[in-house]
Structure 1
Amino acid sequence: MNVQGFVDHSQMKPSVVLTGTAKEGSNAPPVGLVDIGTSEGAYLFRVALPGVRKDQSGKLKCEIQRDGRVHIEGVIARTGILKDSSTVFQMKVQELCPSGPFTISFNLPGPVDPRLSSPTFRPDGILEVIVFKQRTPATDGRFPPP
């Protein structure tokens, strides 16, 4: 056996060795995992979009409705083509998300003001959006409640 615990027979060595957090995860990074955070005045949501390239993030659509419904549309970039290269590679192993269009929909915990949102597409493939909660009119006696 070698240092990594594999038998030293070439036919028995794995073609891919995972260590650290990669070993604990699944084979393909999942598209559409969502984390939602809340504060007194806003919601923060993060959506995992591995395979969506930053230079194509302009084609990513994120619609937020007043009732807190979020709808995201985009395209996973075609694999097998290297940037600045005319060579196309035929993939023999496909562990990453397949290329093509996708949609993701989910609900935030409450109503929001979609005009007050700040989306950021991070270099690590995470769409991060802060959107402010819908404000209710003051009920301190000066204005009647709606």
Structure 2
Amino acid sequence: MDVKNSADEAQLKPSIVLTGTAKEGSAGPPIGLVDIGESEDAYLFRVALPGVRKDQCKVKCQVQRDGRVHIEGVMTGVGLLRDSSTVYQMKVQQLCPPGPFTICFNLPGPVDPRLFSPNFRPDGILELVVMKHRTHQTADWYSQR
């Protein structure tokens, strides 16, 4: 096993902080699982928000220059489920319980928080691409290549 690759893999594993119902939702699919990808110019991250629907939950995502990501939202009450004209009273609830949640983690490096592209997918995955922060010297070096 290559020691450098092991160090790189350990460095990419984010420490994730969950609060509120995100922390309590242990019965069903876990909320807040994070995957992070890296290219030369950007980071891509995906956050699992099972049971969260874009039209029923206001999710806010803040990305800070140092790479800190803060996601917060509120799971709406899911005790009643409406499907067309029928109302169902939930007897079993495996998804995250209703209430506020936060998910915080760090990207591997600094970013430009003005340059990110969010996508809340229909499968409950919040996906964002955010550009890495470049110093002027680095930008000049790239333009001379």
Q: How does the TM-score come out when normalised to structure 2?
A: 0.71
Give the superposition deviation at 1:50: 0.9
Distance 1:85 1:102, change over 3 A: farther
Q: How many residues align?
A: 114
- 1:133 is aligned with what amino acid? K
Distance 1:101 1:85, change over 3 A: farther
1:116 is paired with a residue of what secondary structure? strand
4+ residue segments displaced more than 6 Å: none
> Which whole-Å CA distance do the structure 1 matches of 2:32 and 2:85 have between them?
29
Matches within 5 A, 1:8-87: 28-56=28-56, 59-79=58-78, 80-85=80-85, 87=87
Point out where structure 1 has 5 or more consecutive residues left out of the alignment: 1-25, 142-146
Give the superposition deviation at 1:114: 0.4
User: When you count strand as a share of all residues, which structure comes out higher?
Assistant: 2
The reply on whether 1:100 has 2:99 as its aligned counterpart is: yes
Give the superposition deviation at 1:101: 1.2
> Which whole-Å CA distance do the structure 1 matches of 2:56 and 2:81 have between them?
15
> Which whole-Å CA distance do the structure 2 matches of 1:130 and 1:30 have between them?
22
1:130 maps to which residue? 129
What do you get for the CA RMSD once the two structures are aligned? 2.1
> Which whole-Å CA distance do the structure 2 matches of 1:130 and 1:103 have between them?
20
Give the superposition deviation at 1:84: 4.3
Task: Give the structure, 1 or 2, with the largest relative contact order (CA under 8 Å, sep 6 or more).
Answer: 2
Give the superposition deviation at 1:77: 2.9
Give the superposition deviation at 1:51: 1.5
Give the superposition deviation at 1:83: 4.4
1:67 is paired with a residue of what secondary structure? coil
Q: How does the TM-score come out when normalised to structure 1?
A: 0.70
Conservation of the 8 A alpha-carbon contact between 1:51 and 1:77: no
1:97 is paired with a residue of what secondary structure? coil
